[in-house]
Copies of this chain bind each other. A is one copy, B any other.
Amino acid sequence: MESKPVIPGRDTLLVAEGRATAAAIRAEKPDGPWSREDLLTVFDQLKPTGYLGSTIDRQHGGSGLALGQFASLLEGLATEVPFLSNHSVQRFIVGAGSPEVRELVLPGLLDGTRIGSVAITEPHGGSSIREMRTTVVPDGAELVLNGSKDWVTHAMTADTAAVLCSDEQENPVRVIVDLYAPGVTRIPLHAHGLRHLTFGSLQFDDVRIQRWRVLEEDGVAGAKAGLGIARTLVAVQAVALGFRALVDATEHLATRTVRGSRVIDLDLTSGRVGALAAELQGARLLAYHAIEAVEAGQEAAAAMASGAKAHACAVAVRACSELVSTCAGHGLDRTSRLGDYRDDAEMLGTADGTGLVNHIIWGSYLKKHLGECF
């Protein structure tokens, strides 16, 4: 339908391509968590879409997608296979990697034969960049890494991790770690949502690290820029889950009757469908609005990404939770997937900073700029 409203920055063809690819992936895979072999097949299926090279320039071997295009692809994927990740480490390496890390680590990540992960959160709580207890310090010609990280996506299947830690001057740095190295232990976590993926803790006990594995950047700036992009991508995925739940719920309610009327035809139902869709669409527009700010390099972009992410996840969780209740037995039946959408959205809400943390980031920025922005 040509006349349908266009959301700036969103590429409907890539959304559609994401959906089609996701459906194909989902059809062939077990319920999860997927093994490393399963995942490699998935990333192979994703390769033609540009997923693995994401927004990296073509001259660096990337896909050259605009952030909005990549977000659209992820939006399309999200309803079936949310939060697949394995695209961030590539960007980090192209942004700040040494020649050795570009030559030795990057190719496998870009062609989908290696899986990357990102390790930020620490067990004591929070993901404040300035409170890292994981350390990387010189030890002879090399470095040695100690500490532990929680809630690492792909923890049980990844080959490589970008680990945020403190150096000997207590400055934050990011290190590209080989997860098969001696001293690395993986401990699985079992989460309520995103059950197709593995999550876990990574423990580093005197893991030896070559100096070329350290990213050449301000670790805070690098982590923040990475988080800004990651948060907008989470935001569009959360909204997609909310809309998917709305579509499924309305389809279900068309099959139910009360006193001779279809439940979907009740004013009560229409009113709630309208209210939820308005919230979700507002959240989607806010997410793509933040994406455009990131693309334009605006000063407000990182804060906007935090606000958009916190808002999108809150709206998606609320929508899914209400729809679970509204659909009664159907919502609680594990074959219906409504509960999965809610659990997945809840997980997204915690990834890359909780809603509270992200709203504080965005609110702190705003308090100084409210007058000029609005």
User: Interface residues, chain A, CB within 8 Å of chain B?
Assistant: 1, 3-8, 121, 124-126, 128, 131, 150-151, 189-193, 243, 246-247, 250, 255-259, 263-264, 266-275, 277-279, 281-283, 285-286, 289-290, 292-293, 296-300, 304, 306-308, 310-311, 314, 317, 321, 324-326, 328-329, 331-335, 339, 343, 346-347, 349-350, 354-356, 358-364, 366-367, 370-374
Contact = CB atoms under 8 A, between A and B. Distances in A.
Q: Copy number of this protein in the oligomer?
A: 4
A271 B359 contact: yes
Question: Would you call the interface of chain A mostly helix, strand, loop, or mixed?
Answer: helix
A289 B325 contact: no
B354 A325 contact: yes
B274 A363 contact: yes
Contacts of A292: 5-6
A329 B326 CA distance: 27
A20 to B, nearest CB: 14
B128 A258 contact: yes
A126 B258 contact: yes
Contact of A329 (B121, B282, B366): B121
Given A282-B283, A282-B311, A275 B4 contact: no
Contacts of A124: 256-257
Residue of A7, A283, A354, A370 with highest tally of chain B CB at under 10 A: A370
B285 A3 contact: no
A274 B126 contact: no
21 contacts: A5-B290, A121-B329, A126-B257, A189-B329, A192-B332, A266-B267, A268-B268, A268-B271, A270-B359, A271-B359, A273-B367, A274-B358, A274-B360, A274-B362, A275-B314, A278-B362, A317-B321, A325-B346, A325-B350, A332-B347, A339-B343
